[in-house]
Amino acid sequence: MTPPMIHNRYLPLCLHRVCNGVFGAVLLIGIGSIWFGEPAGSWRHFVSRCLIWGSIPVGIILALVARLFSIVQGVAGGDGYDELPETDDKKPVA
């Protein structure tokens, strides 16, 4: 029988904030890059540039509000720590 492992499924807050901000910014950049190849004077190119430049402040805002609103909350898992079975430490592990 192998000893049970503790699985910490919570991301540290700093890493959670970075992931939340980067994911939101990359998502907005991906949407904005759809029309980036249009001619420079078209409205689609303008919207694309606005979405790409707007991804920077949106990423920062999403990183700051990671405790209230999280895009990546489900990535790390649900409950945090798994329930560990009670073991008797006096018995030798074979």
Let me know if residue 85 belongs to a domain. no
Residue numbers of the domain that contains 34: 13-64
Tens-digit pLDDT profile for the chain (94 aa)?
555 555 555 667 788 888 889 999 999 999 999 988 889 889 999 999 999 999 999 999 989 988 787 776 655 444 444 454 565 556 655 5
Q: Residues 6 or more apart from 63 whose CB is under 8 A from it? A: 17, 18, 20, 21
What is the per-residue pLDDT for 70?
73
Q: How many domains does the chain have?
A: 1
Let me know if residue 22 belongs to a domain. yes
Let me know if residue 4 belongs to a domain. no
- The C-alpha atoms of residue 62 and residue 20 are separated, in whole angstroms, by 6
What is the per-residue pLDDT for 93?
56
Burial letters 28-54, b for 16+ CB under 10 A, else e: bbeebeebeeeeeeeeeeebbeebbee
Let me know if residue 5 belongs to a domain. no
What is the per-residue pLDDT for 79?
45
